[in-house]
Amino acid sequence: HLGVARLLLAAGADPNAGFLWDGMPSPFTALTGAFGGGEQGAPPHPQELELARLLLEAGASANDSQTIYNRGAGDAHAQDDIDVLDLLLQAGLGRGDGGPWHRLLVPRHPAPAQLLAEALQHAAHAGLPRRARLLLDHGADPDLRSTHPVYLGRSPYEEAVLQGNPGVSDLLERAGAATSSVGDPERVVGELLAPAGSDGTSTRSDGGPAGGSAGRSAGSGADAALLDVVRQRHPDLVARAAAAGRADAIERCLGHGFGIDARTPAGLTALHEAGVRGDTGIVTLLLSRGADPELRDPQHGATPGGWAAHGGHDELAALLHSAAEDG
């Protein structure tokens, strides 16, 4: 494969070759193909880093918006790996004029600094501290917000707290991110959604707790009023815990009175989120606690079983369809 690529490039092939899928202003380039990923889980090239390095050395732009999406917000199973980001950052991601596709598509194509913001926002959302640290070390603005509607205009710091990712929120605070917009209700959300092994509270740069006593004692009777506020502002915590694959957080949220079928702003229930990700353990837990497998999302009119099928998880889809029929 690498030999063929070298021959093509030597013969004049454009290292920035790509196309606009369905007219959307995020080009699928040769670099995008090398890295794969995205909502359909396209596999990366078997020699992804070597091929990508070859393309970059031949002049491919590292400011590849579709790669940032496919290996970030569009990847339901993102891990805290840094090889792809590190290669792109070394090759100019976040710098320069954005490359030929940006020049053609501006203002609809994100500027280099915005691509760093998208990657940092995803790291905050998914709880990926190695990625967050790498991006911050390469100049990512800790306060620049993603433009993707799924993040609802939140800052990376707000995102990290509201997704229960204290490791990332601490990194952002140390990098100078503004924290004043996060109050006690948001810190309680962070505690409830925090993964196993975390006390659920972020820490300040001086080592002290950032959430205060209100966050740390969210389950006590003294904080009943605060919990009422959290349930009103953030009713979808069970769905968010399911999207993060955190069974302990699901149990914690259910124990504090959050609805098992409450929907995210996109209209998805916890079963939809777990189904599309193929998380059989979370689906089984939710069904055992009474989640409704017949509910349909508003955009596609699909049940959780339909979402599991869309994600390519046929056995889980069958389980969910069976549960809906039995219900």
Instruction: Report the share of the chain in percent with pLDDT over 70.
Output: 92
Q: Is it the case that residue 232 has pLDDT exceeding 90?
A: yes
In this prediction the pTM is 0.85
Residue range 287-308, pLDDT digits in tens: 999 999 999 999 999 999 999 9
Q: What is the mean pLDDT of residues 127-134?
A: 97
Helix axes 184-193, 247-255, angle to 10 degrees: 130
DSSP state of 197: T
Phi, psi (degrees; rounded to nearest 5) at 29 = -100, 175
Res. 39 pLDDT band, cuts 50 70 90: confident
CA separation for the pair 31, 51 (Å, rounded): 8
Higher pLDDT, residue 67 or 327:
67
The CA radius of gyration of the chain, in Å to the nearest whole number, is 21
Residue range 107-119, pLDDT digits in tens: 999 999 999 999 9
Q: What is the mean pLDDT of residues 152-167?
A: 95
CA separation for the pair 216, 51 (Å, rounded): 48
* pLDDT for the residue numbered 198: 63
Res. 257 pLDDT band, cuts 50 70 90: very high
- With CA atoms as reference, report the closest residue to 307 among 267, 278, 266, 264: 278
Q: What is the mean pLDDT of residues 67-72?
A: 96
* pLDDT for the residue numbered 76: 75
CA separation for the pair 283, 184 (Å, rounded): 31
Res. 214 pLDDT band, cuts 50 70 90: very low
The average confidence (pLDDT) of the chain is: 91
CA separation for the pair 94, 220 (Å, rounded): 45
Is 224 in a helix, a strand, or coil? Answer: helix
CA separation for the pair 104, 19 (Å, rounded): 12
Can you read off the two tokens belonging to residue 287?
């069904």
Query: Which residue do the tokens 């929907």 mark?
Result: 263
